[in-house]
Structures are given as C-alpha cells and as structure tokens.
Amino acid sequence: MAGILGFYTSKGLVKIVNIRKVARKISPDTAARLKVLFPGMPLDSVTIIYNAWLPAHIFNKAIEGMTFHNTIYVTRYHIQHNYAGFILLIHELVHIKQIRESGEIAFACNYGMQLLSYGGYSSKMPLENEAYAFVAHIPFDPLYYRIRHLQHQVSSADPDWEMTAMAHFLDQGIYLGLQSSNDFNIKSYIDKIRDFPDTIHPVDYPAALLHCIKHASNERKKD
C-alpha cells in the first residue's frame, strides 16, 4: 500500500511543483519517427513538461524523467532533437505503453510494489527493466551509421550529429533497409526469422525492427 500511496503522492507533488513549466506536444517530425517504435500509440495525446523538478529523494537517485498517465516530466530541455534526450523520451514512452496496457491504477500498484521490493528505484524493477531493455536493444549505432551512410552530410563537429543520424535512420534508413550497426542488417535479420512468415511481411522493415527489439528484450529477461 505504501508503494501506491508513494506513487500518487509523487504524482500530486510533481503536478503542483511543475505547474508553471513549459508543456509541449511531441512535434510532428518526432511523432513520425516514433511511429516505427510505437505503432498505434496516439502520440499526439502525449504532453512533455520540460525542465521539470522531480522528487529524486523518493527514488534514491537523480532521475531524469517520470511519466504519469500521458504526461512525461523531464529534467532536460531538449529531448526531441538531442540523442540522449530522445533515448530518454523512448524510455518514458515504454512506460506510457505499460500504463495504456495495464491501466494507471494497476501500473501504480505494480510500480509501487516493485519500488518497495527493490528497496527504491532500480533499473532491475521489471517495469524499468522493460524500458531499459527496449532502448538498449534498438539495433542502431550512431557512429557506424554516420560513417557508413552520412559521411558527406553530417559532420562529427555538429553537437547533435548522433540525433541527426538516428533521425535519418528512423525517417529513411529503416525503410531503405540500411545496415544500422556493425552487426545489424535488417535484411539478414528477416532472412533469419523466416520461420515466422505470417507475422512479418518480407519487406516490412519497421515491423522487423520492432520484432528484433522485442525478441532481444525477451531473451534478456530469460537470462
């Protein structure tokens, strides 16, 4: 019970202290990019509160983001056009997906119980582990991708070159089937998963990418 109380106390607190902070919607560019990773999610209903204050003491460590219902609170300013920020946004969207799937009350109960049983915030809490695993298993290496596909368009001097590479991958690269890391080629991946011909159309690269992320995440859970 303390867990769920903690969740709702945090939620109330976070809402009140951040009431004057800038709230923004996910931009159409970002939404188009994220559609590959979160098909069917109504991204236009998501609100992002920038430069938010978050109750870090509840989680025993500095946290960068927190999600309640459809609202993502982040301590950063840039999350749609900066690589680390974008990765954080993807992490928080996994929580929105979890909340949409289980309902907010069940999510709050589970999250609260996991906080208690892990003695505070931990990336090992199953709900957190799922979000971290999703991000970690996106088969994309910005350095590899820039050198291989964008050498003449993007300079490493550009402070946001990693985001530019990621954006290029999600906007075009995935549809073209471009190799996205040293060891990931979507075409050979599809060849390898030929035993699921009904679930993945031979040229549906975005679906195959999602399959790869989920499959790799599930494998990690089993370890």
> Cα–chain-centroid distance for residue 32?
14
Distance in Å, CB of 91 to Zn ion, minimum: 6
Please name the helix (run of DSSP H) or strand (run of DSSP E) that holds residue 25, with its range, or none: strand 23-25
Nearest to Zn ion of 126, 177 (CB atom) = 126
How far apart CA 190 and CA 3 sit, in angstroms, is 42
Which SS3 state, helix, strand or coil, does residue 124 take?
coil
Distance in Å, CB of 127 to Zn ion, minimum: 7
β-pairing, 65-68 vs 47-49, is unpaired
Distance in Å, CB of 97 to Zn ion, minimum: 12
Distance in Å, CB of 168 to Zn ion, minimum: 27
Nearest to Zn ion of 128, 162 (CB atom) = 128
How far apart CA 52 and CA 186 sit, in angstroms, is 38
DSSP string for residues in 67-85:
EETTEEEES-S-SSSSHHH
Interface with Zn ion (CB under 5 A): 128, 131
Distance in Å, CB of 95 to Zn ion, minimum: 6
The sign of the CA dihedral 110, 2, 61, 69 is: positive
**Residue 151: burial class (beta carbons within 10 Å; 0-12, 13-18, 19+):** exposed
Nearest to Zn ion of 18, 114 (CB atom) = 114
The tokens describing 48, both together, are 């992002």
Distance in Å, CB of 137 to Zn ion, minimum: 15
The tokens describing 152, both together, are 């003449």
Nearest to Zn ion of 33, 95 (CB atom) = 95
Nearest to Zn ion of 164, 217 (CB atom) = 217
Nearest to Zn ion of 14, 190 (CB atom) = 14
Task: Tell me if 167 sits within 8 A of 27, measured CB to CB.
Answer: no
